[in-house]
A and B are shown apart, each in its own frame.
Chain A
Amino acid sequence: MQQTTIGQVHLESILFFLLFVSGTLFITYWAAKRTRTTKEFYAAGRSITGFQNGLALAGDYMSAASFLGIAGLVSLKGYDGLIYSVGWLVGWPILTFLIAEPLRNLGKYTFADVVAYRLHQRPIRTAAATGSLITVLFYLIAQMVGAGTLIKLLFGLPYEIAIIIVGGLMISYVLFGGMLATTWVQIIKAVLLLGGATLLVILTLAQFGFNYGNLFNEAVTKYGDKFLEPGGLIANPLEAFSLGLALMFGTAGLPHILMRFYTVPDAKEARKSVFYATGFIGYFYILTVTIGFGAAVLVGQDIIAGIDKGGNMAAPLLAETLGGTPFLGFLSAVAFATILAVVAGLTLAGASALSHDLYVGVIRKGIANEKEEVRVAKAATLFLGVSAILLGIVFKGQNVAFMVGLAFAVAASANFPALLLSILWKRFTTKGAVASIYTGLALATGLIILSPTVWVDIIHSGDKKAIETKIKDIEKESKIKIDNLMAQRTTTKEQNTIDEMIKEEKQKASKAISNLKEQMPKPIFDMRNPGIISMSLSFVVGIIVSLIFRDKEAEKKFEDEKIRSFIGIGAE
């Protein structure tokens, strides 16, 4: 077996890591002097260009989980991993066509600004902030737990220490440097990640004469035709559509992504930034998939799965194989930077929902001065950061993979429908929006809890495991019995009787197994992705409630909203 130094502390990775940390902390120091007003804290003074914001959006979105996770999935499952990567990109065009410009023209700092534009502030802001916070919190927990585990795998650091380092740096960036520091952390991370992945792909393709055909040929020689064919990952069509909906429209409802559109000066730059972001992210996923296939061929599935069952170490292992410890060190530091950029964006989005929407919009009824709002936003940052650290430690070793799915489901079902309807539909009302947000929120969360992912795999995991063990025992016992009978069969003349006994034993075992399978805990809602139900019903409820309870005032304001939405007159 090939030697790997993954999980050990390398001089190289520590060096790269310290370089990144000192660089970003220096930027934070520089940004802190430029972060005094709310516009500076939430929106970097709207001073970011379209190209910069494109990079920052990519840095905000491309998580370590998708980099290491998709490369790993491709290396172990082949084509099925590629299917996933497509889903992560397709929300971006929707964001471009429907959301980016009106969002920028109508809002100030949060997407709730847009939904509340012509409706009643307090109920809308309460509902929208709840949707935002739930999305951010689940996403944040998944990122923190992932960060602890990854850093433990990469550097051999204890889980809790890793979480505290990530949390501490994240709080420093956001608390002192606000959106300006967060933006530059995300830009630097995007450049490092795209650069590192590009280098890894060049080194990989160099092994195959820069010919994808050769790479695929060797992959097929090693793992068979099946490796390049869709497999069992998506078995149920309805599940596949539901997951697709959540990924696509969830992207267009993620608060930390939406918030980034306020950092550019106008709608034109917002539009440009989402075009750049889509390009960077698409390019990144194509690189990641190549890395996955490269790792399968050059490192081998046995070694990848031997270190981490989910395949998360495929990319680092490939880096080590092709570029030695220095490259492994560099890529590990990049993974660390990746995590930091994402959690910083999430924390800022959560803090803005708490301070701008809940504190100023609801508690102070929209009246608060700059100083007070910045102070509250900073307190909210500290509160969220510390909560993220604590939750990260509490959820250690738990299965949190479903939380990213939940965050996307809530974003698609609670945030996106209200945002879209408020932009497009004249008759949308306060009651309709509130009903739509809470319907989406309750259904997405509730159905995931009742789904196989949580109800069976987490809540009833004990029962499930006990039954699985029993089944294995029966299989084992029955195999021993049959083996014994087979052995007797060769020495006796009464083969027919023994054949009969073998048949009987097989029937007995399969009956016992199917009986046990009946006792398996069953999900109350038998779908892993509720998007198709929760998102559709959120739209339906929002529309029906708006039609029943008309709001002439809101309808009248729509004409005014249209002028601002389309040509940006009055936009902040």
Chain B
Amino acid sequence: MTEGRRGVRIQEDPEFKTLVSQKTIISFVLTVLELFLYFGFIWLIAYNKPFLSSKFYGVITWGIPIAVGTIILSWILTGIYVLWANNKYDTMVKNIREKIG
């Protein structure tokens, strides 16, 4: 467990504080982007059907690339998070663990 002095040392470690705030910000920003993406799509369905029904290419309506794009962008956002976490986040975790022991 992390109780006692070791816990306090981690809590007061500047690198731990940076890690917490960075991870919180990145999670928050990406969540907001995902909400914006999906509810933007729903908003278009609810309030702007004519746009989704307008032609994008040939007979294909704008609605199709937007729906498929929402799926693909959602995946890309998860990818961005995982890429960041695998590099930056894990390195910081490793540093803190080594420092505290």
Residues of A within 8 A of B (CB): 79, 82-83, 85-87, 89-90, 92-94, 96-98, 101, 212-213, 216-217, 220, 225, 228-230, 234, 237, 240-241, 244, 248, 268, 271-272, 274-275, 278-279, 282, 285-286, 289, 559-560, 562-564, 566-570
Bound complex: CA A567 to CA B11 (Å): 11
With contacts A90-B70, A97-B30 known, is A244 near B38, CB below 8 A? Answer: yes
Interface SS of chain A: helix
Assess the A562–B20 pair: CB atoms within 8 A.
yes
Minimum CB–CB distance for B67 against chain A, Å = 5
With contacts A275-B82, A563-B7 known, is A79 near B61, CB below 8 A? Answer: yes
Contacts A90-B38, A92-B74, A563-B7 known; list 4 others, CB within 8 Å: A213-B59, A228-B64, A234-B46, A567-B96
Q: Which residues of A have CB within 8 Å of B67?
A: 79, 82-83, 85-86
Bound complex: CA A90 to CA B33 (Å): 11
Assess the A563–B27 pair: CB atoms within 8 A.
no
Assess the A83–B78 pair: CB atoms within 8 A.
no
Q: Which residue of B lies closest to A82 (CB)?
A: B67
Minimum CB–CB distance for B3 against chain A, Å = 6
Q: Which residues of B have CB within 8 Å of A279?
A: 75
Bound complex: CA A271 to CA B85 (Å): 9
Q: Which residues of A have CB within 8 Å of B46?
A: 234, 237, 240-241
Contact among A85, A92, A230, A268 for B52, CB-based, below 8 A:
A230
Find the residue from B2, B3, B72, B86 having the highest chain A CB count within 10 A: B2
Assess the B71–A86 pair: CB atoms within 8 A.
yes
Q: Which residues of B have CB within 8 Å of A272?
A: 82, 86
Q: Which residue of B lies closest to A284 (CB)?
A: B71
Q: Which residues of B have CB within 8 Å of A285?
A: 71
B41-85 interface with A by 8 A CB criterion: 41-42, 45-47, 49, 52-53, 57-61, 63-64, 67-68, 70-72, 74-75, 77-79, 81-82, 85
Contact among A101, A217, A240 for B45, CB-based, below 8 A:
A240
Find the residue from A230, A271, A274, A570 having the highest chain B CB count within 10 A: A230
Assess the A241–B39 pair: CB atoms within 8 A.
yes
Bound complex: CA A79 to CA B56 (Å): 14
Minimum CB–CB distance for A194 against chain B, Å = 15
Bound complex: CA A282 to CA B38 (Å): 14
Q: Which residue of A lies closest to B31 (CB)?
A: A97
With contacts A97-B31, A229-B52, A566-B16 known, is A216 near B3, CB below 8 A? Answer: no
In the complex, per-residue mask of B17-38: 1 if CB is within 8 Å of any chain A CB, else 0 = 0011001001100110010011
The 5 closest A-B pairs by CB, nearest first: A237-B46, A229-B53, A220-B59, A90-B38, A97-B27
Assess the A230–B63 pair: CB atoms within 8 A.
yes
Assess the A237–B47 pair: CB atoms within 8 A.
yes
Assess the B53–A563 pair: CB atoms within 8 A.
no
Bound complex: CA A279 to CA B82 (Å): 13
With contacts A241-B39, A278-B78 known, is A217 near B11, CB below 8 A? Answer: no
